[in-house]
């Protein structure tokens, strides 16, 4: 029996977030569609708008918050351009990050072209959804881990009643404490999983359902109440666009699952049991060491007699772990493709760890094969992929440039008897001064133009109650921010006003 099951946790619907970032107040088409030009590079109105919306508030300084933020974007771009000049885009770190991102972008672009663009939502479907949203129901539920137990409880509830069976199966204290955990609020079809909705839509008040499987758990439902609200034409007009998006996202979720399942079924992916066991034992041993000084690959290559599982993996790294239509991967091939941080799970829970590892193997194979499918369709040349890849590459090259500056000039806080916090402040000030000087020089060697009239037309969101509020948006699949935004540290670096006036041209 399962106790204190959170209804909202079990039945929360996972929608794919549809990014909507406002609009441009005026049509930008009569002049340049960019807000700044830095040497041969430009910052478009759209790039600025997205960056500003999800950027750190510390960079949005009065009196002109948009101009303040744009200055920080220009500073980061200047440092990135210098990094390109020095070839920092060719470093191993940047190349590895770019390869990982490209696979992610190709996967998304394949789903966009093969799934998202094929979905339509009719007016009739939208009106039907709005009508159904005016029906709400409230019910009690009981959960069991297997079907046989659920069938037994169902029979008992039919004979003795729901409340009597619950009281019999729980202690009095548990009934008092858990009674509300087994009862929902009033729900519409939007808050109810489709599988459950199909099973309870015809239940009458007081009636019990037979066991309903949901996420490998079996639920028994007793309907408590049903409410129906009246509808006016205004209800359709005022909620039409919202329900259009809801239906689109629901269809997208279902069609995406169907497309991926069909794609992977055709690939006939098989994981070899012996090689999997070798991998799992080595990963458990590596995680138990909790050694952050070595990567997984280094730990495997350097394994000694005290690390038998890692040593075995090293000896058998050429063994085949995965086969699929058109190819196969050895243990070494797989290790070179995974992100070990995604495998951070308590090794003591062996069954859970093995299930998690199998899932990661499946996701890694899926992402690789679907990226290859996207390339075969020429999607690596799409504008969306190129633009996102360039934006993140700029960010990584900027990071490398900043790191190179600090290393080359030995910008470490002085070793004194001062407290750590004082040394950190001294280091920050030292870094500020150095990068301020570098940015001043870069502005002198690269022509910077700001198109103020275009900047003024861009609509952005600012919080009236707190100018320090931030909005961050991450991809559910990779936990990566949806777009790269300006380094908040740039808010601490102030360029002398005379330098800005001498290098920045205001263009009408």
Taking CA atoms, 208 is separated from 1, 151, 162, 416, in Å, by: 18, 12, 8, 74
Strands 135-144 vs 327-330: parallel, antiparallel or unpaired: unpaired
Give the Cβ contact number of residue 211 at 10 Å: 22
Closest CA to 490 of 435, 448, 444, 427: 435
Residues sharing a CB contact under 8 Å with residue 158, sequence separation 6 or more, in sequence order? 208
Residues sharing a CB contact under 8 Å with residue 116, sequence separation 6 or more, in sequence order? 252
Residues sharing a CB contact under 8 Å with residue 464, sequence separation 6 or more, in sequence order? none
Per-residue burial over 403-438, b = 16 or more CB atoms within 10 Å of its CB, e = otherwise: ebbbeeeeeebeeeeeeeeebeeeeeebbeeebbeb
Closest CA to 126 of 16, 229, 242, 20: 242
| Token pair belonging to 233 | 């034409």
Mapping DSSP onto H, E and C, the string for 26-76 reads CCCCCCCCEEEEECCEEEEHHHHHHHHHCCCHHHCCCCCHHHHHHHHHHHH
Mapping DSSP onto H, E and C, the string for 103-141 reads HHHHHHHHHHHHCHHHCCCCHHHHHHHHHHCCEEEEEEE
* Residue 129 CB-density burial (10 A; 0-12 exposed, 13-18 middle, 19+ buried): buried
Global confidence as pTM:
0.74
- Distance, CA of 48 to CA of 472 (rounded, Å): 16
- pLDDT one digit per residue (tens) for the chain, 508 residues: 443 344 444 443 333 333 333 333 333 333 458 999 999 999 999 999 999 999 888 888 888 999 999 999 999 999 999 999 999 999 999 999 999 999 999 999 999 999 999 999 999 999 999 998 888 889 988 888 889 999 999 999 998 888 888 877 775 444 444 444 588 889 888 888 877 888 888 888 988 899 998 878 899 998 999 998 888 888 889 999 999 999 999 899 899 999 999 999 999 999 999 999 999 999 988 888 877 778 888 889 999 899 999 999 999 999 999 999 999 999 999 998 887 777 766 656 777 888 889 989 999 999 999 999 999 999 999 999 999 999 999 999 999 998 888 776 665 544 444 455 566 666 667 777 888 888 999 999 999 999 999 999 998 887 766 666 777 777 766 677 888 999 987 765 554 444 334 444 444 3
Question: Would you say 212 and 139 are in contact if contact means Cβ atoms under 8 Å apart?
Answer: no
Helix (H) or strand (E) holding 505: strand 504-506
Look up the CATH architecture of domain 7-11+135-228: Roll (3.10)
* Vertex 276: Cα angle to 369 and 302 (nearest 5): 100
Domain residue spans of the chain: 7-11+135-228, 34-90+383-506
- Distance, CA of 299 to CA of 315 (rounded, Å): 13
DSSP class of residue 464 equals: S
Taking CA atoms, 52 is separated from 8, 30, 131, 268, in Å, by: 33, 23, 39, 45
């Amino acid at each position: 029996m399962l106790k204190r099951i959170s209804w909202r946790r079990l039945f929360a619907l996972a929608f794919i977030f549809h990014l909507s970032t406002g609009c441009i107040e005026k049509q930008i088409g009569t002049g340049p569609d960019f807000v700044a030009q830095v040497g041969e590079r430009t910052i478009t109105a759209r790039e600025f708008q997205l960056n500003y919306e999800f950027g750190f508030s510390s960079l949005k300084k009065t009196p002109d918050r948009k101009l303040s933020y744009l200055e920080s974007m220009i500073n980061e771009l200047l440092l990135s351009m210098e990094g390109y000049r020095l070839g920092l885009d060719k470093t191993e770190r940047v190349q590895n990050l770019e390869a990982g991102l490209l696979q992610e972008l190709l996967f998304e672009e394949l789903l966009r072209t093969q799934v998202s663009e094929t979905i339509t939502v009719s007016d009739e479907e939208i009106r039907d959804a709005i009508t159904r949203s005016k029906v709400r129901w409230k019910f009690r539920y009981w959960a069991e881990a297997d079907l046989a137990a659920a069938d037994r409880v169902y029979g008992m509830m039919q004979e003795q009643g729901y409340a009597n069976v619950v009281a019999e199966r729980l202690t009095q204290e548990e009934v008092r404490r858990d009674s509300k955990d087994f009862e929902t609020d009033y729900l519409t079809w939007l808050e109810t999983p489709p599988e459950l909705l199909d099973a309870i839509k015809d239940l009458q008040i007081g009636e019990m359902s037979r066991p309903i499987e949901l996420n490998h758990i079996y639920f028994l439902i007793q309907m408590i109440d049903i409410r129906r609200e009246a509808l006016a034409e205004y209800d359709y007009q005022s909620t039409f666009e919202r329900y259009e998006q809801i239906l689109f996202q629901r269809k997208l979720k279902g069609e995406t699952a169907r497309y991926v399942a069909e794609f992977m079924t055709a690939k006939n992916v098989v994981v070899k049991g012996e090689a999997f066991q070798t991998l799992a034992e080595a990963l458990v041993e590596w995680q138990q060491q909790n050694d952050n000084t070595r990567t997984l690959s280094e730990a495997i290559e350097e394994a000694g007699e005290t690390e038998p599982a890692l040593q075995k993996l090293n000896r058998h790294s050429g063994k085949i772990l995965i086969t699929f239509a058109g190819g196969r991967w050895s243990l070494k091939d797989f290790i070179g493709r995974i992100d070990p941080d995604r495998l951070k799970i308590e090794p003591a829970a062996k069954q859970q760890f093995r299930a998690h590892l199998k899932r990661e193997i499946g996701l890694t194979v899926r992402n690789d094969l679907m990226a290859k499918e996207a390339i075969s369709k020429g999607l690596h040349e799409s504008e969306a992929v190129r633009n996102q890849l360039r934006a993140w590459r700029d960010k990584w090259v900027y990071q490398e440039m900043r790191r190179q500056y600090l290393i080359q000039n030995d910008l470490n806080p002085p070793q004194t008897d001062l407290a750590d916090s004082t040394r950190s402040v001294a280091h920050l000030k030292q870094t500020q001064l150095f990068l301020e000087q570098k940015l001043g020089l870069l502005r002198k060697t690269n022509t910077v133009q700001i198109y103020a009239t275009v900047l003024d037309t861009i609509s952005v969101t600012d919080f009236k109650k707190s100018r320090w509020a931030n909005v961050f948006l991450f991809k559910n699949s990779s936990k990566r921010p949806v777009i790269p935004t300006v380094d908040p540290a740039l808010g601490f670096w102030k360029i002398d006003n005379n330098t800005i006036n001498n290098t920045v041209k205001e263009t009408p």
